[in-house]
Amino acid sequence: MKQYTAITGASSGIGYATAKKFAARGKNLIIIARRETLLNQLKDEIADNYPEVDVVIKVADLSVSNEVYQLYETLKQYHIETWINNAGFGIHTMMKDEDTKRAQNMLHLNIEALTILSTLYVQDYANVEGTQLINISSAAGYNMAPTAVIYSATKFYVSSFTENLALELRENGAKMQAKVLAPAATESEFAKIANNDKDFDMDQAFDKYHTSDEMADFMLQLYDSDKIVGSVVSEDYSFVLTDNKFPYLG
């Protein structure tokens, strides 16, 4: 049976770059996002470079609860060895200026969709050898960030949820590994959307940052390791692999 790596938010940024890195390893892919045109572009790029890799496109808006469940149901026919919850977005603004509808969509995507998909995947694959769940958090998921109160809180959730899950799986002898990747500033659409500025300039805003391609390389380092957390150190932008950062009461 063919095995697949499923990646949400694969139409741009870290998700797009990660799909290409996994394809380079000969991994079949299920790429998931709202924008079908960009998913087709990614599929064509992979076909040109890695024709042996099977790429399945799934179009879904994961900020809509019903679409989350419908998506997972359509994937029952595939054997998924790795699930990467990359889809998410941020909002950088003062709370007094927060658009509550936009914030609500962010909560649905960053927390609800990730939790549902993680749970369904664990329930189906926890005792399948070689499986991994990788959730994308942020440096803001370990450090409170100015003008990002709600976004930072969503990523604290992702970090603590995934770390706790990883330790629960370990304690119970599960074959699956759960891991969390925590990028810092990364050159992608993320900053433009978070700042609501299509002309947002990374060089002006940050002294240091990583490209999406660099973050995808870090993703592979985490994937290849037995550690739980792969995080970018905000002070010098180095990448470190560690076990859980939050205290565990188990």
Instruction: Count CB-CB contacts under 10 A for residue 134.
Output: 22
Label the pairing between strands 177-182 and 229-232: parallel
Task: Give me the amino acid identity at 203.
Answer: D
Average pLDDT over residues 225-243: 96
- DSSP bridge pairs for 29: 5, 55
- In three-state secondary structure terms, 239 is strand
Domains of the chain: 3-242 (3.40.50.720)
Q: Which of 70-79, 89-98, 199-208 has the highest mean pLDDT?
A: 70-79
Can you give the pLDDT at residue 90?
A: 85
Lowest mean pLDDT, pick from 27-36, 101-110, 154-163, 193-202 = 193-202
pLDDT band for 28, please (50, 70, 90 cuts).
very high
Q: What is the 3-state secondary structure (H, E, C) of 70-128?
A: HHHHHCCCCEEEEEEECCCCCCCCCHHHCCHHHHHHHHHHHHHHHHHHHHHHHHHHCCC
Residue owning tokens 């380092």: 221
Label the pairing between strands 3-8 and 186-187: unpaired
pLDDT band for 235, please (50, 70, 90 cuts).
confident
Can you give the pLDDT at residue 26?
A: 98
% of the chain surpassing 90 pLDDT = 84
Task: Give me the amino acid identity at 24.
Answer: A
DSSP secondary-structure letter at 216?
Answer: H
pLDDT band for 205, please (50, 70, 90 cuts).
low
- DSSP bridge pairs for 8: 32
Q: Is the pLDDT of residue 25 over 60?
A: yes
The pTM for the full model equals 0.92
pLDDT band for 208, please (50, 70, 90 cuts).
confident
Round to whole Å and give the CA distance between 205 and 108.
Answer: 28
pLDDT band for 200, please (50, 70, 90 cuts).
low
pLDDT band for 191, please (50, 70, 90 cuts).
low
Q: End-to-end distance of the chain based on CA atoms, in angstroms?
A: 37
